[in-house]
Amino acid sequence: MKRIPIAGPWITEREIEYVTDAVRNAWYENHSVYQQRFETAFARYVSRRYAISLPSCTSALHLSLLAAGVGPGDEVIVPDLTWIASAAPISYVGAKPVFADVDPVSWCLSAEALEAALTSRSKAVIPVDLYGSMPDMDAVLDLAHRRGLVVIEDAAESLGSEYRGRRAGSFGQSSTFSFHGSKTLTTGEGGMLVTDHEDVYQRCLFLRDHGRPPGDRYFFNTEVAWKYKMTSLQAALGLAQLERIDELIARKRQIFAWYREQLEGVPGLTLNAEGPDWKNSYWMVTVIVDASLGIDKRQLMDAMSQKGVDTRPFFHPLSSLPAYGQLASAADWPRRNPHAYSISPRGLNLPSGYNLDRAAVEQVCERLVDVLRGR
């Protein structure tokens, strides 16, 4: 029996052709052609003026915080339920992460929780578009605007999602994407920062190249900075993927529809939501198991693994991780963020890779139902 993996890309002849061309020709005067083509096409797709290709989404968040002037003494609010990469760059710049609760339907930062997390030190907020879902952006942006917070959208998981007709990645001062091998569009490893602000764009170009102004030919560094660049081979892969983006999103939505069809009638399961205000690109199909079924995500993962199906646990509340154990009043978090602490222990990501067909999805669902029935 072949194992069913959790995630993986969809590579066609187009990707192979572009990468082959890059390794042959993207040198000398052509050394940055693929990065420029990828950035231009990407900015257009998410309706932003500027895009910068980077080695990761983590580096895009780091640059976003630096460009926003976030530093020691500042607090940055981030949802408690997300991958640690949303929050780690807050520590890189010497600021303090503050974990806020999520909305129980969208699983994303709620505006009420954002309001409750505000202090006189709050400088920025990083709403995260979790698993392809979208927060109530109007409410978050409105509150952030009134309180003078910089908004940085972590759209790593939501390429192709929409909120009130606007694409994920078009909200706030800058937005960030990941092209890790598990993501909706991949370059193997990679990321993108997008913004409409000329000054943010210029500052990030400077900071990502060891403090050299763009176009500097004299190698005369004016600040100690960072080195965050994407190779042309990765950009060629990304460009080919982006030219197929409609097909990729349609496939993600098809995979989710197969799951929904299979699991709709099973009592005690909740799948990723889609609201009247937002379209979900369903990066990862996720089930929340009702508490009445009395089974947690670790038991589910182990039982599914024994049946040949790879799954992932719903993100743990960041405030519960040993990595953040030194934060004061740790015992308080479950009371402060009740939705995060209720959802996370019961959530499981199911296989969502592009290699799935309807039969494979049916197999996963049958095995999940068997596990839930104690078989």
Which spans in 121-244 are helix H? 137-146, 198-207, 232-242
**Stretch in the footprint of ligand PLP (CB under 6 A) among 99-107, 153-161, 252-260, 274-282:** 153-161
The closest of 93, 37, 31, 38 to 61, measured between CA atoms, is: 93
86 binds ligand PLP (CB under 6 A): yes
- Cα separation, 115 vs 160, in Å, equals 28
Least distance between ligand PLP and beta carbon 85 (Å) = 3
52 binds ligand PLP (CB under 6 A): no
Contact status, residue 175 vs residue 22, Cβ threshold 8 Å? no
Q: Which of 89, 127, 191, 317 binds ligand PLP (CB under 6 A)?
A: 191
**Stretch in the footprint of ligand PLP (CB under 6 A) among 23-31, 78-86, 229-237, 253-261:** 78-86
As given in the structure block, the two tokens for residue 83 are 């991958």
The closest of 236, 205, 222 to 59, measured between CA atoms, is: 205
User: Is 255 or 303 the residue whose CB approaches ligand PLP more closely?
Assistant: 255
Contact status, residue 170 vs residue 146, Cβ threshold 8 Å? no
2, 96, 123, 183: the catalytic one is 183
Least distance between ligand PLP and beta carbon 220 (Å) = 30
128 binds ligand PLP (CB under 6 A): yes
Site for ligand PLP in 167-186 (CB under 6 A): 178, 180
The closest of 104, 99, 95, 64 to 79, measured between CA atoms, is: 99
Q: Which of 46, 63, 85, 371 binds ligand PLP (CB under 6 A)?
A: 85
The closest of 283, 175, 234, 200 to 38, measured between CA atoms, is: 234
User: Is 33 or 135 the residue whose CB approaches ligand PLP more closely?
Assistant: 135
The closest of 64, 58, 65, 104 to 81, measured between CA atoms, is: 104
* Number of helical (H) and strand (E) elements in the chain, helices listed first: 13, 14
What 3-state DSSP class applies to 109? strand
What 3-state DSSP class applies to 37? helix
**Stretch in the footprint of ligand PLP (CB under 6 A) among 11-19, 150-158, 239-247, 293-301:** 150-158
Contact status, residue 363 vs residue 313, Cβ threshold 8 Å? no
User: Is 54 or 365 the residue whose CB approaches ligand PLP more closely?
Assistant: 54
Least distance between ligand PLP and beta carbon 342 (Å) = 20
The closest of 64, 339, 44, 87 to 197, measured between CA atoms, is: 64
Does 183 participate in catalysis according to the annotation?
yes
Least distance between ligand PLP and beta carbon 82 (Å) = 5
Least distance between ligand PLP and beta carbon 222 (Å) = 27
154 binds ligand PLP (CB under 6 A): yes
56 binds ligand PLP (CB under 6 A): yes
Which residues make up the interface to ligand PLP (CB under 6 A)? 56-58, 82-83, 85-86, 128, 154, 156-157, 178, 180, 191
Instruction: Give the residue numbers annotated as catalytic, written as ranges.
Output: 183
